[in-house]
């Protein structure tokens, strides 16, 4: 029997969440932007009115303002986005425990085993879930319904906002095959360019291509993509409750226009790190390694990483570390097409917290830190690991006092 897979995608997520707390923003062209005071700040999301002016995600504020001078800018509130994201997933979990978040505003659901509980078709059940998110949370989602993840994902993108699209065994050739290959899950710009060079521009052309030939040019991925194009994605949807702690948390962006120079790069890095830092908190962990990946307009990639002296989840520390990596790699003097910042070497918050927060509270020299560390070690040895919470202050919203 075919599976029933849903892909649920929140429409204009960041902007929708901002409009929840500030309804007046519904009536003006509005965008969420990292670093809104800087003209180099990056547009992260926009509402429908701003979209009508041509405002695009991943462009700079000054580009957006050229098209829409009255654009209202709002700084991002990533912790709020995570909170709402959890509430939305909680609704999905009323239907199945096979809920697999794919980023902050999308989830795959496998409803195969629960369909018998509901006297309706999969698409009708998708409509019910959609209506619940709209009425209980106040935002809209679009839903793709299919027999595999890859087609469900294409379905959620097919019609939006607030719509359901069914992609079945019967209609997938009609709906999916005319789409551009770049719409397919895991086909990036580079893979799309490689395929296009072989005369493969649509999913249908990919489906009809010789899989052996694809493997020769794309490796293992070639066979996988061929399978995907023919509806052969059999990957399971994982349980919400059995997700592993991530090994790293990264965020990347391909900019609308290449960026160059300290100010533009800093604005880009800062937009990326905002959400990385929020996710570190969300997962209750800190990072000991910061990585950057810089892609130039010719797709050449430079990767750099460094190990931190102490674990952190502070955005300012991650931003400065990423900036010095990029500076050292000569990245401030050339065109950058895409940037990724990754927090790696993650450690659980309770392993890292004591050291960091005592140090930042004292803000002392390295020598003093050494001696504090020695003292802490001694106290912990005698009284146990959880015995020290000095200098640690959490605001009610969960953020650190030390971070602005
Ligand atoms: Mg979305």
pLDDT digits (tens, 9 = 90+) for 238-272: 999 987 778 899 999 989 899 999 999 999 999 99
Q: Provide the CATH number for the domain formed by 1-176 in this structure.
A: 3.30.70.270
- Whole-model pTM: value is 0.77
Is 106 considered catalytic here?
yes
Give the per-residue pLDDT at 244: 76
Handedness of CA 164, 168, 174, 175 (dihedral sign): positive
Residue 212 to residue 312: CA distance in whole angstroms: 47
Range 326-332 contact pairs with CB under 8 angstroms and sequence separation of 24 or more:
326/265, 326/269, 326/292, 326/294, 328/304, 329/292, 329/294, 329/302, 329/304, 331/265, 331/292, 331/294, 331/302, 332/261, 332/262, 332/265
The answer to whether residues 147 and 125 touch, using CB atoms and an 8 Å cutoff, is no
Q: Tokens in use for 10?
A: 């929140």
Yes or no: domain 249-387 corresponds to CATH 3.40.50.850: no
11 alpha carbon – ligand 1 mean position (Å): 5
Residue 136 to residue 88: CA distance in whole angstroms: 9
Give the per-residue pLDDT at 37: 83
CB atoms within 10 A of CB 322: 30
pLDDT at 35 over 60: yes
Model confidence at 387, in pLDDT bands (50, 70, 90)?
Answer: very low
Give the per-residue pLDDT at 352: 55
Residue 117 to residue 93: CA distance in whole angstroms: 14
What kind and span of H or E run contains 176? Answer: none
Residue 25 to residue 16: CA distance in whole angstroms: 10
| Integer CA distances (angstroms), 64 to 3, 14, 32, in order | 43, 17, 11
> What's the rounded mean pLDDT across residues 307-319?
93
Give the per-residue pLDDT at 368: 43
2-19 pLDDT tens trace = 999 999 999 999 999 999
77-109 pLDDT tens trace = 998 999 999 999 999 999 999 999 988 899 999
What class is the 180-240 domain? Answer: mainly alpha
286 alpha carbon – ligand 1 mean position (Å): 27
- Residues 18, 106, 353, 354: which is the catalytic one? 106
Give the per-residue pLDDT at 103: 83
For the chain, give every domain's residue range. 1-176, 180-240, 249-387
158 alpha carbon – ligand 1 mean position (Å): 12
Residues, beta carbon < 5 Å, ion ligand 1: 9-10, 13, 105
pLDDT at 404 over 50: no
388 alpha carbon – ligand 1 mean position (Å): 42
């Amino acid at each position: 029997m075919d599976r029933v897979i849903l892909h649920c995608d929140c429409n204009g997520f960041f902007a929708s969440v901002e409009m929840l707390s500030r309804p007046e923003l519904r009536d003006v062209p509005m965008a969420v932007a990292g670093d809104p005071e800087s003209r180099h700040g990056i547009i992260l999301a926009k509402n429908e009115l701003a979209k009508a002016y041509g405002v695009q995600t991943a462009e700079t504020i000054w580009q957006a303002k050229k098209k829409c001078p009255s654009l209202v800018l709002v700084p991002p509130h990533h912790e709020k986005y995570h909170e709402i994201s959890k509430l939305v997933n909680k609704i999905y979990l009323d239907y199945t425990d096979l809920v697999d978040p794919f980023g902050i505003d999308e989830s795959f659901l496998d409803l195969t085993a629960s369909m018998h509980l509901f006297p309706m078709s999969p698409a009708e059940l998708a409509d019910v879930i959609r209506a619940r998110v709209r009425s209980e949370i106040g935002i809209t989602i679009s839903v793709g319904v299919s027999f595999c993840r890859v087609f469900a994902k294409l379905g959620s993108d097919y019609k939006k906002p607030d719509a359901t699209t069914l992609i079945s065994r019967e209609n997938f050739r009609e709906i999916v095959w005319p789409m551009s290959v770049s719409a397919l899950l895991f086909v990036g710009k580079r893979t799309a360019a490689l395929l296009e060079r072989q005369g493969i521009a649509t999913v249908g052309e990919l489906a009809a291509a010789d899989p052996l030939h694809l493997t020769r040019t794309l490796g293992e991925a070639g066979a996988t993509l061929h399978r995907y194009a023919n509806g052969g994605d059999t990957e399971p949807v994982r349980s919400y409750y059995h997700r592993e702690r991530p090994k790293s948390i990264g965020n990347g962006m391909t900019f609308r226009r290449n960026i160059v120079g300290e100010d533009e790069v800093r604005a880009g890095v800062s937009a990326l790190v905002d959400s990385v830092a929020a996710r570190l908190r969300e997962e209750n962990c800190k990072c000991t390694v910061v990585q950057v990946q810089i892609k130039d307009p010719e797709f050449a990639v430079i990767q750099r990483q460094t190990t931190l002296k102490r674990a952190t989840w502070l955005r300012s520390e991650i931003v400065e570390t990423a900036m010095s990596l990029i500076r050292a790699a000569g990245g401030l003097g050339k065109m950058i097409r895409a940037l990724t910042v990754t927090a790696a070497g993650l450690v659980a918050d309770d392993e890292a917290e004591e050291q960091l927060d005592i140090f930042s509270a004292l803000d002392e020299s390295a020598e003093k830190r050494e001696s504090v560390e020695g003292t802490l070690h001694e106290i912990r040895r005698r009284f146990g690991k959880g015995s020290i919470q000095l200098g640690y202050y959490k605001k009610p919203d969960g953020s650190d006092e030390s971070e602005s």
